[in-house]
Copies of this chain bind each other. A is one copy, B any other.
Amino acid sequence: MLKTAIEMDRAAMILRLLGDKTRLTMVKILDSHDCCVCEFVEIFKVSQPSISQHLRKLKDVGLVKEERRGQWIFYSVNKSNEYYPFVSQILSQLPDQDDKLNELEKQGTRITCC
């Protein structure tokens, strides 16, 4: 077994985490753009606590990190996380989600503070 291979139980845990359409799309978006909670609320049309809970799960395994900027808390992918190489390979096979952020731009609800 390669030293670099992810363990099966860790891999299953990560796949289960990504096996939710909302979280998977979040991570795909965050892989190329920082976003704050309210942007995700707008994109996914679910309640703010629901978004916060998804982000919490991603943060709990260290896959995303948060950073306060004024009134907002921005999330980004933690590319130095041990699971990132595994996740990154998966994300690379997914269609880019730029249309979601472009939609926010058009609506004027994209947050571009700081």
Residues of A within 8 A of B (CB): 1-2, 5-9, 11-21, 24-25, 28, 85-86, 89-90, 93-97
Contact = CB atoms under 8 A, between A and B. Distances in A.
Contacts of A90: 15, 89-90
B7 A95 contact: yes
A83 to B, nearest CB: 11
A63 B11 CA distance: 19
Given A19-B16, A19-B17, A11 B93 contact: yes
Contact of A21 (B9, B17, B86): B9
A24 B11 contact: yes
B15 A24 contact: yes
14 contacts: A2-B95, A5-B93, A5-B94, A6-B94, A6-B95, A8-B97, A11-B94, A12-B24, A15-B15, A15-B90, A16-B16, A16-B19, A89-B90, A89-B93
A1 B21 CA distance: 18
A12 B97 CA distance: 14
A20 B19 CA distance: 10
Contacts of A21: 8-9, 12
